[in-house]
A and B are shown apart, each in its own frame.
Chain A
Amino acid sequence: MNQRRIFITSLTALSLSPWQSASATPSEAMQAMQRIVGNRPVNTGRIYFDLPPLVENGNLVAIKIAVQSPMTQNDYVKAIHVIAEANPLPNVVSCYFTPLSGKAEVSTRIRLADSQKVWALAQMSDDSFWRTSVDTVVTLSACTEMI
Chain B
Amino acid sequence: MSRSSRAVVTLPKTAKRGEVFEIRAIVQHEMESGFRHTEQGVRVARDIIREFVCTYNGKEVFRSELHPGIGSNPLFIFYAKAEQSGSLEFKWTGDDNYLTIVKQTITVL
Contact = CB atoms under 8 A, between A and B. Distances in A.
B104 to A, nearest CB: 16
A109 B61 contact: no
B16 interface: no
A143 interface: yes
Contacts of B75: 107-109
Interface string A70-90: 010000000000101001110
Contacts of B69: 82, 84, 87, 89, 91-93, 110-112, 143
A111 B33 contact: yes
Interface of B: 20-21, 33, 35-39, 44, 56, 59-72, 74-81, 83
A103 B64 contact: no
Contacts of A96: 60, 62-65
Contact of B81 (A64, A91, A100): A100
A60 B67 contact: no
Chain B contact surface mostly: strand
Interface residues of A, number: 39
Given A82-B69, A145-B36, 17 more contacts: A61-B71, A88-B35, A89-B68, A91-B67, A92-B70, A93-B66, A95-B78, A96-B62, A97-B62, A101-B80, A102-B80, A102-B81, A105-B78, A107-B76, A111-B70, A112-B69, A147-B44
A103 B36 contact: no
A31 interface: no
Nearest to B32: A147
Interface in A102-123: 102-103, 105-112
Contact of B36 (A60, A61, A109, A143): A143
Interface in A11-25: 18, 22
